[in-house]
Amino acid sequence: MGGFDGTALDDRLEDLEARTLYVTGLATDTYVQHTVLEACKRGFRVVVVEDGVRGMNVEPGDADRALAAMREAGVVVAYSAALGVQV
């Protein structure tokens, strides 16, 4: 359900010697969360660009709870301006 499922993403990132991933995307509370947590399990440092993600919020607050779970897993959640980029 995330970016690593059924893809060669892990191999590609290893080939690039990536250590830190900056994540943006739709469905903060599903696809983004699954990708981010899987990346953490695989040893990547992960930064979620908060103004570069949007939640589906099937239940009110789903996206906020997903961001909180990602923070608890050690993910950095930051706005693009704090990272010196514009989304």
Report how far Cα 77 is from the mean position of its chain's Cα atoms.
Answer: 9
Domain 9-80 has CATH 1.10.230.10: no
- Residue 75: count other Cβ atoms within 10 Å of its Cβ: 22
Report the C-alpha gap between 49 and 16 in whole angstroms. Answer: 21
Q: Spell out the per-residue pLDDT of the chain, length 87, in tens.
A: 899 999 999 999 999 999 999 999 999 999 999 999 999 999 999 999 999 999 999 999 999 999 999 999 999 999 999 999 876
Report how far Cα 15 is from the mean position of its chain's Cα atoms.
Answer: 20
DSSP string for residues in the chain: --TTTTSSHHHHHHHTT--EEEEEEE-IIIIIHHHHHHHHHTT-EEEEEEEEEE---SSTTHHHHHHHHHHHTT-EEE-HHHHT---
Question: Which pLDDT score, from 0 to 100, does residue 87 have?
Answer: 67
pTM: 0.91
